[in-house]
Amino acid sequence: MFLRAWPVQTRLGGRVLSRSWCSFTSPTVGDRSQRRRWWGWRRPVALAARRLSVRMEFDGLQLEAGFPRNEPEPEFRHEGEFVSTTYADSLVKPVPRAQMPAQLDGTALMWFRNDLRVHDNEALLLGNRGTALLCVYVFDERQFYAKSRLGGYPRIGPHRAYYIRECVEALRDSLRAHNNELYIEVGLPEEVIPRLATRYGVRHLVFSKEVTCEEVATENAVVRAVQQATAAANAPPVQFHAVWTSTLVHWEDLPFHVPNLHGGQAPSHGDEAQRPARRPLPSVFTGFRKGVEAAADWHVRPPLKCPERLTLFPLEAIEGGVMDWAGQLPPEYPNEAVREWGDTQRKLLIERPYPDPRSCFDFHGGEEQALKRVEQWIWVKDMLPMYKQVRDDLDGGDSSSKFATFLAHGCLSPRYAYAEVRRYEQQNGASQSSYWLLFELLWRDFFRYTALVQGNRLFQKRGMQFADPPTSSAASSSSAVIERQPDLTPAAALKAWCDGSTGIPLIDAAMRELRLTGYTSNRSRQIVASFLVKDLGVDWRLGAEWFEAQLIDYDPCSNWGNWSYVAGVGNDPRGAYRYFHPLKQAYEHDNEGLFVKGWLPQLLWIYPQYLHTPWNWDEAMQKRVGVTLGKDYPHPIVRLREPAHRPKPPDTPYLEQIDADIGEQPPIDLEVPAHWVTPMNEHLRKWDFKPSEPE
Ligand SMILES: Cc1cc2nc3c(=O)[nH]c(=O)nc-3n(C[C@H](O)[C@H](O)[C@H](O)COP(=O)(O)OP(=O)(O)OC[C@H]3O[C@@H](n4cnc5c(N)ncnc54)[C@H](O)[C@@H]3O)c2cc1C
């Protein structure tokens, strides 16, 4: 049994009467169900904690009490008015389908956010019921210029920035093909939208509902600003409609009760009274999946079609010439161009990232690309039958669907993907493998609904479990680290991890892939995240922030949900005990070292059986293969224990072949290869990289 201190507040009618630090946890089980708290002990322990820091151990019991070791838990991700918002604070809640008005009286403004598509977009269809439809997208300056709170990384790195630009461009094309237009502006949504609403006499504002704090805060700011602007202009009030467009299973069809969603709202179909009572949302995925699949009335709604012609764009806007720059995207800067900031400093310039030829996939944003990918991957390449077997590969354009990049920005509707999988199964038969894609899409839903329920705990260090993640001084008990560089600080460890220079080849290869392409496979993400948290003991939120900057498919719910899961503070029943041994993973997934050598070409001649363990490269070997540790490749920052089992290394002839090759050729040029030094890289190096000391 283990008694740990953490903040406890005694409240009466909203007033905090006392603050103290206490609780009980069992250290041997990360499982929340086995965790116990005895609040009755609060007072005596609080008294003790106020006076002294205690740590006692008797009869197998450990008792620890004291003031918190670190800075107080930062509660929120944003300063100023954006603090403390959660889904519960939403000024506008999603409308059940049955209650959506059949007709909207007057002009509707459709504010596009992470729903950049015309297919299966219920918000767009609702907006289309207005007498005129004005479609708007705002490049939110707050996101594009901001830095992350802990690490100071750009919130949107170059890969995602460019990808979003492509998505918006494609949306504009789709809308034009449907007789409409997209009004695009760079600024703050709460400034742009009220201005447009008053100028065009907008009566209805329609948007897709988001669930996380910043997104909800932005929504609320827009709603308030529109109300104020219309009141100031003596215009009729605007009606607000939030529509649920992002998940596979619509919230109305969930067999679970989600606070703030189901409270008192009528279902869109069937009779609520005849439904089995909704259970609370399970805290683990298996419960969620089984519940959803078993629910008698569970179904995924068929995707909605966009009419060929959308309601006309307000004519007076075109005639008056006010919208002469509608559809203008932020300037694109090809990487060959010399950037001249000058007067345009405040303007959003989006740099086209260097297309690294090693990228597993040619990522391009937009609805058309998304639909093409579904068609190609499911139907042309016929990948569904083998998806389950190959989805854990570290590399490969088709080993996984790559739908996430489209889903994250709403270029693809999950219901459309689902319908295509079902159609495939009807024609070719269902299999475990085809089902697995739906299984994975349910993970995405699970993280979204969990984020909605958990609120800002998603972003907090101790997460939803309110548990202590490992620290550098007390790294995870399952860690394979047997030796650390003596002067390794958490900040240095973090920097090496971000740069892909930890000296652990598999970690470095994955981190370089991420940085150069904006993507890395699910398995790589799990391995590098586990390494950062469980082996280096760095605050997991810094890793999540780095991923947020880098990932093209960044989605707050999936990213922070997965990170807290790997860190053992999320909704993983194995909690702190889930661990990805980097060497074991390397032997299992890259035994021949092809993935590593692709991203670390200077290691080309290292024999596969030594590749993953640089501490075994003696001087003779380094000389032979032309790699000097500390010069051509960094010294490993940690040394790892070998896993119990190691698969057979590649056959000897392969090694003999390498020997023969080296004999014939001069050692390769170990300068950083030319394609590594790209304008994008230089740009990344200019980032104000000042990670704060996490511990
Ligand atoms: C530390 C970490 C951070 C992550 N951050 C993100 C993120 O910001 N955005 C994101 O979409 N995914 C994230 N994932 C989940 C997963 O890695 C990606 O969804 C997946 O790699 C995307 O590639 P794909 O579309 O080819 O996946 P596929 O294997 O083809 O999966 C199909 C779809 O299922 C969903 N999915 C699959 N696995 C997961 C998962 N673990 N969690 C949630 N949804 C899943 C995705 O929507 C994906 O497109 C993260 C995973 C980890 C371990």
Structure confidence by residue, pLDDT tens digits, 228-283: 999 999 999 999 999 999 999 999 999 888 877 776 444 444 445 555 667 888 98
632 class by beta-carbon count within 10 Å (0-12 exposed, 13-18 middle, 19+ buried): middle
Report residue 166's pLDDT band, with 50, 70 and 90 as the boundaries.
very high
* Residue 333 annotated as binding site: no
What was the pLDDT predicted at 468?
A: 73
**Closest-lying ligand 1 atom to the alpha carbon of residue 554:** 8
pTM of the model: 0.84
Residue 212 · residue 455 · CB < 8 Å: no
Residue 528 · residue 497 · CB < 8 Å: yes
ipTM over 0.90: yes
Percent of the chain with pLDDT over 90: 52
* Residue 445 annotated as binding site: yes
Residue 514 · residue 504 · CB < 8 Å: no
* Residue 447 annotated as binding site: yes
* Residue 144 annotated as binding site: no
Please check the confidence at residue 570 and state whether its pLDDT lies above 50.
Answer: yes
> With b meaning 16 or more CB within 10 Å and e meaning fewer, what string describes 67-77?
eeeeeeeeebb
Residue 495 · residue 586 · CB < 8 Å: no
SS (H, E, C) 250-311: CHHHCCEECCCCCCCCCCCCCCHHHCCCCEECCCCHHHHHHHHHHCCCCCCCCCCCCCCCCC
Please check the confidence at residue 683 and state whether its pLDDT lies above 70.
Answer: no
Higher pLDDT: 215 or 468? It is 215
d(CA 559, CA 161): 17
Q: Single out the residue of 452, 528, 454, 464 nearest to residue 493, CA to CA.
A: 528
Helices 522-530, 556-567: axis angle to 10 degrees equals: 50
> With b meaning 16 or more CB within 10 Å and e meaning fewer, what string describes 520-555?
bbbbbbbbbbbbbbbbbbbbbbbbbbbbbbbbbbbb
* Residue 642 annotated as binding site: no
3-state DSSP assignment of residue 246: coil
Ligand 1 centroid from CA 568, angstroms? 18
Higher pLDDT: 678 or 352? It is 352
β-pairing, 7-12 vs 15-21, is: antiparallel
Ligand 1 atom 19, closest CA: 404
Please check the confidence at residue 219 and state whether its pLDDT lies above 60.
Answer: yes
Q: Which of 403, 406, 507, 522 to mutate to test the pocket of ligand 1 (most atoms within 8 A of CB)?
A: 522
Distance between alpha carbon 645 and the CA centroid of its chain, in Å? 33
d(CA 173, CA 118): 10
d(CA 335, CA 162): 11
493-515: pLDDT as tens digits: 999 999 899 999 999 999 999 99
What was the pLDDT predicted at 478?
A: 79
Q: Single out the residue of 398, 395, 356 nearest to residue 594, CA to CA.
A: 395
Ligand 1 atom 48, closest CA: 404
Report residue 27's pLDDT band, with 50, 70 and 90 as the boundaries.
very low
What was the pLDDT predicted at 626?
A: 80
Sequence-ordered alpha helix ranges (H) in 106-212: 122-127, 141-145, 158-177, 189-199
Dig out the tokens for 82 from the structure. Answer: 């954006």
Dig out the tokens for 181 from the structure. Answer: 């237009």
β-pairing, 202-208 vs 107-112, is: parallel
What was the pLDDT predicted at 692?
A: 37
Lowest mean pLDDT among 134-138, 155-159, 327-331, 446-450: 327-331
Ramachandran sector of residue 366 (left: φ over 0; alpha: ψ -120 to 50; beta: rest): left
CA atoms in the 13 A half-sphere facing the CB of 162: 17
Ligand 1 atom 46, closest CA: 404
Ligand 1 atom 1, closest CA: 563
d(CA 64, CA 131): 66
Beta strands (DSSP E) in 66-128 are: 107-112
Please check the confidence at residue 29 and state whether its pLDDT lies above 50.
Answer: no
* Residue 36 annotated as binding site: no
* Residue 553 annotated as binding site: yes
Ligand 1 centroid from CA 393, angstroms? 14
CA atoms in the 13 A half-sphere facing the CB of 74: 12
Q: Residues enclosing ligand 1, CB less than 6 A?
A: 391, 400-404, 407-408, 437, 440-441, 443-444, 447, 521-522, 525-526, 529, 547, 551, 553-555, 558-559, 562-563, 566
What was the pLDDT predicted at 18?
A: 40
Which letter does DSSP use for residue 147 in this model? B
Which letter does DSSP use for residue 574 in this model? T
Please check the confidence at residue 52 and state whether its pLDDT lies above 80.
Answer: no
* Residue 11 annotated as binding site: no
Best-predicted range by mean pLDDT (17-26, 321-330, 644-653): 644-653
Report residue 304's pLDDT band, with 50, 70 and 90 as the boundaries.
very high
Residue 98 · residue 269 · CB < 8 Å: yes
3-state DSSP assignment of residue 507: helix
Arithmetic mean of pLDDT, 410-439: 96
**Closest-lying ligand 1 atom to the alpha carbon of residue 520:** 21
* Residue 363 annotated as binding site: no
d(CA 621, CA 632): 14
What was the pLDDT predicted at 577?
A: 76
**Closest-lying ligand 1 atom to the alpha carbon of residue 528:** 1
Ligand 1 atom 37, closest CA: 440
Arithmetic mean of pLDDT, 196-204: 92
Cα–Cα distances in angstroms (integers) from residue 434 to residues 234, 382, 408, in the given order: 56, 10, 21
d(CA 160, CA 187): 18
* Residue 395 annotated as binding site: no
132-152: pLDDT as tens digits: 999 999 999 888 888 888 888
Residue 411 · residue 371 · CB < 8 Å: no
Q: Single out the residue of 669, 676, 674, 597 nearest to residue 626, CA to CA.
A: 669
Percent of the chain with pLDDT over 70: 73
Higher pLDDT: 400 or 259? It is 400
Higher pLDDT: 540 or 75? It is 540
- Partners of 633 in beta bridges: 629
d(CA 670, CA 601): 8
**Closest-lying ligand 1 atom to the alpha carbon of residue 551:** 8
Q: Which of 541, 552, 562 to mutate to test the pocket of ligand 1 (most atoms within 8 A of CB)?
A: 562
Higher pLDDT: 74 or 383? It is 383
* Residue 443 annotated as binding site: yes
* Residue 440 annotated as binding site: yes
Beta strands (DSSP E) in 518-656 are: 638-640
Q: Single out the residue of 122, 114, 142 nearest to residue 206, CA to CA.
A: 122
Lowest mean pLDDT among 304-318, 324-338, 499-513, 649-663: 649-663
What phi, psi does 426 have (nearest 5°)? -65, -40
β-pairing, 54-58 vs 61-65, is: antiparallel
Please check the confidence at residue 60 and state whether its pLDDT lies above 70.
Answer: no
What was the pLDDT predicted at 654?
A: 56
**Closest-lying ligand 1 atom to the alpha carbon of residue 407:** 47
Higher pLDDT: 246 or 462? It is 246
d(CA 177, CA 14): 54
**Closest-lying ligand 1 atom to the alpha carbon of residue 525:** 53
Ligand 1 centroid from CA 298, angstroms? 24
Q: Which of 363, 418, 444 to mutate to test the pocket of ligand 1 (most atoms within 8 A of CB)?
A: 444
Ligand 1 centroid from CA 443, angstroms? 8
Lowest mean pLDDT among 331-340, 570-579, 683-692: 683-692
Ligand 1 centroid from CA 18, angstroms? 42
Higher pLDDT: 266 or 87? It is 87
Please check the confidence at residue 315 and state whether its pLDDT lies above 80.
Answer: no
Please check the confidence at residue 646 and state whether its pLDDT lies above 90.
Answer: no
Report residue 559's pLDDT band, with 50, 70 and 90 as the boundaries.
very high
Arithmetic mean of pLDDT, 647-656: 62
d(CA 163, CA 350): 10
Cα 245–Cα 161–Cα 404 angle in degrees, nearest 5: 45
Ligand 1 centroid from CA 522, angstroms? 6
Q: Single out the residue of 514, 246, 313, 302 nearest to residue 420, CA to CA.
A: 302
Lowest mean pLDDT among 409-418, 491-500, 632-641, 674-683: 674-683
Q: Single out the residue of 546, 178, 250, 211 nearest to residue 418, CA to CA.
A: 250
Ligand 1 centroid from CA 404, angstroms? 6
Ligand 1 centroid from CA 558, angstroms? 7
Name the strand (E) or helix (H) holding 136. strand 132-140
d(CA 518, CA 2): 42
Ligand 1 atom 20, closest CA: 522
Q: Single out the residue of 256, 268, 255 nearest to residue 94, CA to CA.
A: 268
Q: What is the residue-averaged pLDDT of the chain?
A: 79
Report residue 457's pLDDT band, with 50, 70 and 90 as the boundaries.
confident
318 class by beta-carbon count within 10 Å (0-12 exposed, 13-18 middle, 19+ buried): middle
Q: Which amino acid is at 499?
A: D
Best-predicted range by mean pLDDT (4-18, 96-110, 259-273, 653-667): 96-110
Ligand 1 centroid from CA 602, angstroms? 30
**Closest-lying ligand 1 atom to the alpha carbon of residue 408:** 11
Residue 160 · residue 552 · CB < 8 Å: yes
Q: Which amino acid is at 545?
A: E
Spell out the domains of the chain, with CATH numbers in brackets. 1-69 (no CATH), 86-319 (3.40.50.620), 362-457 (1.25.40.80), 460-695 (1.10.579.10)
